Amino acid sequence: MARVMNFNAGPAALPLAALERAQRELVDLEGTGMSVIEHSHRGKAYDAVHKQALSLVRELLAVPDSHEILLLQGGASQQFAWIPMNLLGEGKSADYVITGSWSKKAFSEAKNVGQARAAATTEKDGKFPRIPAQSELELDSKAAYVHITSNNTIAGTQWHEFPDTGSVPLVADMSSDIMWKPIDVSKFGIIYAGAQKNLGPRGIAVVIVRKDLIEGGRKDIPKIFQYRTHADKQSLYHTPPTFSVYLLRNVLDVVKQGGGLAAMEKHNRQKAELLYKAIDGRPDFYRSPVDKASRSMMNVVFNLPTPELEAEFVAEAQKKGMVGLKGHRSVGGIRASIYNAAQLSWIDALVEFMNDFKKGS
């Protein structure tokens, strides 16, 4: 079997053990004689999977009782709309910190729903090279919430210290770095993430919401978009994407067996450090467009001297079994997405390739 070294940004690589388990169980889930996809979402077999997925999220992230965990459809982009729909009542305003294309999209969707303002932006010549300092945030102390993007998948930047928003709930799009390390969930009003980067397959968003925000949420919007509807039914109000939830369960189980998020952080820091060292070691050839203090541990972006060399780099890497290294179409360059499932051996191979490629050109 030839598995490639998959550096895709999303959907992205998943732990092989999680996929192999799915392969083994695909036609017969635990002796039930049918696939998880064929099971009723109201039956015992699926219910066990569903509950396990939820409890693994709670356990791994140490989610306190003050917060509900929801598994919702529509991905992270749909949460861009759900959040203001639920939290942004008449006469309220929300603050958005703009650090990349995804925060821009979230901000723009909020403005479609109600009042929102940019509390800071780090856009410079169309790029987002850094995360703002606390002192740059012009926060409205009466805001309904403050929204940040914890990891900027395209720009390759990441918040390494979360902002202090006082009593205003902090809402974070963690689509591309949820569970990369332990965090203090109690500091957040909402954490949300499309699953397809660090957690599993496309098809669900994991949404962690403080209970008082669910209770205080608007009731004058369609029931299906109210957090309380799904919280009241443990995310079984209607048919959930059962196969996605099942695979989420498999992935989280692998993370747990591997030592949980503390072990994951160590593994991730080691990978990122190797890669940034390879970039910094050859400043005449490889260049990081991102401020050092804002560098992402998940999406490592860099440039070569010319776009032609970058195209050649991507093509040559592919021949060696390394795929997905082309930068996002909006910014170009190279991007190595090294989420939880990316192996240390892949980074070693990439670093070796980077050294050889420079010598050859």
Measured distance CA(169)–CA(146) in Å, rounded: 6
Would you say 205 and 226 are in contact if contact means Cβ atoms under 8 Å apart? no
DSSP-derived letter for residue 173 is E
- Is residue 268 a contact point for ligand PLP (CB under 6 A)? no
Measured distance CA(283)–CA(226) in Å, rounded: 50
Measured distance CA(31)–CA(345) in Å, rounded: 36
Q: How far is the CB of 278 from ligand PLP (least distance, A)?
A: 24
Give 15 or 194: the residue with its C-beta nearer to ligand PLP: 194
Would you call 102 a catalytic residue per the annotation? yes
- Restricting to residues 142-171, name those near ligand PLP by CB under 6 A: 149, 153
217 sits in the region (left: phi over 0; alpha: psi -120 to 50; else beta) called beta
3-class DSSP assignment, residue 115: strand
3-class DSSP assignment, residue 300: strand
Measured distance CA(220)–CA(86) in Å, rounded: 9
Would you call 82 a catalytic residue per the annotation? no
Q: How far is the CB of 8 from ligand PLP (least distance, A)?
A: 11
Measured distance CA(77)–CA(64) in Å, rounded: 25
List the one residue from 75, 114, 132, 217 that touches ligand PLP (CB under 6 A): 75
Would you call 197 a catalytic residue per the annotation? yes
Query: Computed over its alpha carbons, how large is the radius of gyration of the chain?
Result: 21
- Is residue 77 a contact point for ligand PLP (CB under 6 A)? yes
Stretch that binds ligand PLP, among 24-32, 75-83, 305-313, 325-333 (CB under 6 A): 75-83
- Is residue 337 a contact point for ligand PLP (CB under 6 A)? no
Give 245 or 278: the residue with its C-beta nearer to ligand PLP: 245
Q: How many residues bind ligand PLP (CB under 6 A)?
A: 12
Q: Which of 177, 197, 253, 346 is catalytic?
A: 197
Q: Which residues contact 121 (CB under 8 A, 6 or more apart)?
A: 97, 98, 99, 132
- Is residue 194 a contact point for ligand PLP (CB under 6 A)? yes
List the one residue from 86, 175, 296, 303 that touches ligand PLP (CB under 6 A): 175
Q: Using the structure block, give the residue that is written with the tokens 């992402």.
A: 296
Residue 191 burial (C-beta neighbours within 10 Å; 0-12, 13-18, 19+)? buried
Give 68 or 173: the residue with its C-beta nearer to ligand PLP: 173
- Is residue 76 a contact point for ligand PLP (CB under 6 A)? yes
Q: Which of 82, 95, 173, 180 is catalytic?
A: 173
Stretch that binds ligand PLP, among 84-92, 172-180, 301-309, 352-360 (CB under 6 A): 172-180
Which spans of this chain sit near ligand PLP (rule: CB under 6 A)? 10, 75-77, 102, 149, 153, 173, 175-176, 194, 197
- What are the catalytic residues? 102, 173, 197
